[in-house]
Amino acid sequence: MLVLGIESSCDETAAAVIKDGREILSSIISSQIDLHKPFGGVVPELASREHLEKIEPVVREALQQASIGFNDLDGIAVTRGPGLIGSLLVGVCYAKALAFGLNIPLIGVNHIEGHVFSVIFENPEIQFPALALIVSGGHTNLFFVPEPGQYKVVSRTRDDAAGEAFDKVAKMLGLEYPGGPVIEQIARSGDPKKIKFTRAKISDGRPDFSFSGLKTAVSKHLRENSIAPVIPGEDPSSDLRDLAASFQASVVDALIRTTEKQAIELGARTLIVAGGVASNNALREACSSIGNRLQIPVYFPSRHLSTDNAAMIGAAGYFHLQRGESADLRMTADVGMRLQNLDSPDAELKRQKVRYRL
């Protein structure tokens, strides 16, 4: 089965052709980073206009790279949500028109579920139950996945997503957008133990994440120590490098502490780490250490598949199409689309007592 995946939830226009759910025949991504860089973040109106211009040539290039035509497709998968409404509608409307014209099945995919499926291309089969940490500019969630296609939110961010925190702190430091890669770069020559940032504590005891306090602490440290932002064209000072390294270490520590605790409590047999922030080497190393301690595999997507892409959407769409699921032409974008179909209380998470060799 050949499935065309389409992704346009934020600032990447992407299309991919997936064969039988696991083989990438093509993957084309048109990035808008240069368009939004002067603004320090994504401008929704500009993003949707760029999607309108790019979606047709991107889809045609994906088909050409896969050496197929439109009539060879067996189904179309498109990101339905969550995301920016204008961006989502471009992809959804294009996919609906194409599916109607070709008379083939259409499936609306949850963008976050796409990230879960991004690990299947280059890793062995997932052993269930699994725990999936999805970390990006718009999402920071931990999901319990007892079996394929079933999800329960274990942890979520109460405020900023981790990737969003990277972007905002980078702006404070005078660094370019997107913030994650540039903070990681200068953090390599900084001391991650130089500044002790207080870890956020959730008052109601839930295992959720919070990064707004850390962002405020960075701002306070800059002000109280009279540390100037980077001057364009100059190298960051040692103070800024230490600050970047300490901030990154705090984010990673917050993510892995909760992830490891939940992996133990839920008896996870596989840890999935995906999303744009999954490209961060410090996070990868820390999550790999969790796997070593608990003796479970840790699956990451490649760098190409960590950021928003259509291959993961095609893989998730294939999974649902194989189960006989499809959408009709009344389907529309859903900016607040949630990934949780296990609506049971916490007791029904079936927390397993598994003996790990620590």
Task: Kindly report the average pLDDT of the chain as a whole number.
Answer: 92
- The whole-number pLDDT of residue 203 equals 77
- Least Cα distance to 77 among 325, 335, 342, 301 occurs for 325
Q: Does 179 lie in the same domain as 100?
A: no
User: What is the band of 32 on the pLDDT scale with cuts at 50, 70, 90?
Assistant: very high
Q: Residue 39 is part of which domain span?
A: 2-117+304-322
Residues 154 and 84 in one domain: no
Using CA atoms of 90, 96, 101, 105 in order, give the dihedral in degrees to the nearest 10: 140
Residue 231 banded pLDDT, cuts 50, 70, 90: confident
Q: Is the same domain home to 225 and 290?
A: yes
**Tens digit of pLDDT for each residue in 126-167?**
999 999 999 998 899 999 999 999 999 999 999 999 999 999
Same domain, 112 and 150: no
DSSP helix/strand/coil, 240: helix
DSSP conformation class of 190: S
User: Quick one: 88 and 136 in the same domain?
Assistant: no
Same domain, 281 and 227: yes
Cut 0.85: pTM above it: yes
Residues 153 and 250 in one domain: yes
User: Same domain for 19 and 146?
Assistant: no
- What values do phi and psi take at 106, rounded to 5? -125, 140
Q: Which helix (H) or strand (E) holds 77?
A: strand 75-81
Least confident of 166-170, 195-199, 259-263: 195-199
- Residue 36 banded pLDDT, cuts 50, 70, 90: very high
CATH number at 61 reads 3.30.420.40
Q: Report pLDDT for 348.
A: 37
* CA dist., res. 337 & res. 331, Å (int): 13
DSSP state letters, 335-350: TT---------GGGG-
Residue 344 lies in a domain: no
Q: How many domains does the chain have?
A: 2
